[in-house]
Structure 1
Amino acid sequence: MTEELFLKDSYVREFEAIAVKSTEEGVVLDKTAFYPGGGGLENDVGKLIFEGKEYKVTEVKRKDGEIVHKVEEKVPEGAVIKGVIDWERRYAMMRLHTASHIISAIAFNKYNAMVTGGSITPEYAKDDFNVEDKSILAEIIREANEIAKKGIEVKVYFLPREEAMMIPGIVKLMGRNPPEVPVWRIVEIPGVDIQADGGPHVKNTKEIGEIQLLKVENRGKGRKRIYYTVKTKQT
């Protein structure tokens, strides 16, 4: 099983690994910092380097319990490679991902609204909420910006499933079943939000920059969709 470096450290940009399996479909590594997508986040892209040759990673996905890195040309099995993720793309999604947790927490705690769907790309994020009044969404974004500016350290840790299940609001996506795995990865923004989550996040809310509301769509009765981005570029 591949060691998932991003679970403990979202800031690993480069790493060394062994190609334990290589097929026409892609290469499986003994460890990886490439996020395979999930939870609404797109997968990472980047490159693998072996003996000075670069293999472009165009897609990363989970399949049959493995993380498969799709490359344009087959990587030799057993090769010791260097992996390099597209950091600018990843970091943009990390900032939006942490912003989305703040937004969903405000919606849940203040308006008893849950996320009914959503996705995050490097350019923008979108979330669907089960709310009637779309005016509250602009207020939620305003409040989220105030929280982000506070510079709150984002905590990532692991808890047994039974203990995690006792935390109110640990799963805020409507219709989503709690993970069946025995140990849950928890992402906590102290005083703001705590969720079971497997994706990359920034270490501090100040890294988010300014959250900008792009538009609000009516998706039917009791369902509104917001599009937002993070305005200020961070390094």
Structure 2
Amino acid sequence: MTRELYALDSYVREFRGRVVRVSDKEVVLDQTAFHPRGGGLESDTGRLTGGGKERKVLEVKRNGGEIVHVLDSAEGLTEGMEVVGVLDWDRRYRMMRLHTASHIIASIAYNKYGALITGGNITPEYAKDDFDVEKKEVLQDIVSEANEVARRGIEVRVLFLSKEEALKIPGVVKLAERMPPEQETWRIVEIPGVDVQADGGPHVKNTGEIGTIETIKVENRGKGRKRLYYTVRP
């Protein structure tokens, strides 16, 4: 299994790892700071250097317990070789800000309106989430309240709890029709007094880093379903 450095510290920008397997243009390392596509987030991108050559990391994906790095070329990489990975930090950091913003928005929607997220995706440019709400105005109010929370500068905590302890937390999994993860140890992201969720992705350390959450548009996606597009500004 690949050791997931981003789960321990979202701010790791550069790391060393060893090649476990090479297949065509795909490489598995013993550990990585590159977050794979999943959990509603686009994957990280960046560079991987080893054997005197630098390669682009075009995409990262999960395959069971392994994290697979898709490169522009894996030429010269061999099993056991040490490599250095460097993230496209601006891309990652924008997704971290949007990801933490999405947790705040989801928490307000759930706690105040009983609304669940029925789907969503986060890119470096914007995020989109589908909510089971009737009125567009509800989402505009939620974004306004989320900005108030972000400005409070609340520390974002990461905890590791047993599955049994995690399931005692009300609303710990807020995505509709999604089964909780099967791992015995759960990674919990908490914004004290605001939100607590089971989550494996990277986040900012403090809500003050989010900046201003700005609504791009709200779409009607059918009865009782609205899609919110939003971004973050400095």
- 1:80 pairs with 2:67: no
Q: Deviations over 1:102-132 (max 9, x none)?
A: 0000000001101000000000000000000
Match of 2:200, SS state, is: coil
Over the matched positions of the two proteins, sequence identity in percent amounts to 65
Counterpart for residue 154 of structure 2: 152
- 1:68 pairs with 2:68: yes
Counterpart for residue 169 of structure 1: 171
> 2:25 & 2:186 partners in 1: Cα distance?
30
Matching of residues 108-119 of structure 1 within 5 Å:
108-119=110-121
Contact residue 25 and residue 73 of structure 2 kept, 8 A: no
Q: Which amino acid aligns with 2:139?
A: L
Question: 1:51: how far off?
Answer: 3.8
Contact residue 25 and residue 72 of structure 2 kept, 8 A: no
> 1:220 & 1:23 partners in 2: Cα distance?
44
Which of the residues 195, 200, 203 maps onto 1:198?
A: 200
> Between Structure 1 and Structure 2, how many residues are aligned?
232
Question: 1:188: how far off?
Answer: 0.2
Q: Which amino acid aligns with 1:20?
A: V
Question: 1:25: how far off?
Answer: 4.2
| TM-score computed with the length of structure 1 as normaliser | 0.97
Question: 1:66: how far off?
Answer: 1.5
Counterpart for residue 41 of structure 1: 41
Question: 1:72: how far off?
Answer: 1.5
Question: 1:65: how far off?
Answer: 2.9
Question: 1:162: how far off?
Answer: 0.6
Match of 1:15, SS state, is: strand
Counterpart for residue 187 of structure 1: 189
Counterpart for residue 221 of structure 1: 223
Q: Which amino acid aligns with 1:206?
A: G
Counterpart for residue 6 of structure 1: 6
| TM-score computed with the length of structure 2 as normaliser | 0.97
Tell which deviates more after alignment, 109-118 or 71-80: 71-80
Runs of 4+ in 1 over 3 A off after TM superposition: none
> 1:112 & 1:73 partners in 2: Cα distance?
48
Question: 1:23: how far off?
Answer: 1.2
> 2:112 & 2:232 partners in 1: Cα distance?
23
> 1:111 & 1:173 partners in 2: Cα distance?
15
Match of 2:193, SS state, is: coil
> 1:196 & 1:64 partners in 2: Cα distance?
19
Which consecutive residues of structure 2, in runs of 5 or more, have no partner in the other structure? none
Which of the residues 84, 89, 92 maps onto 1:90?
A: 92
Which consecutive residues of structure 1, in runs of 5 or more, have no partner in the other structure? none
Question: 1:64: how far off?
Answer: 3.9
RMSD of Structure 2 on Structure 1 (CA)? 0.8
Q: Deviations over 1:184-213 (max 9, x none)?
A: 000000000000000000000000000000
Contact residue 128 and residue 229 of structure 2 kept, 8 A: yes
> 1:190 & 1:64 partners in 2: Cα distance?
32
- 1:54 pairs with 2:54: yes
Q: Which amino acid aligns with 1:32?
A: T
Match of 1:39, SS state, is: coil
Tell which deviates more after alignment, 60-69 or 174-183: 60-69
Match of 2:133, SS state, is: coil
Contact residue 58 and residue 72 of structure 2 kept, 8 A: yes
Tell which deviates more after alignment, 47-56 or 96-105: 47-56
> 1:64 & 1:115 partners in 2: Cα distance?
25
Contact residue 126 and residue 231 of structure 2 kept, 8 A: yes
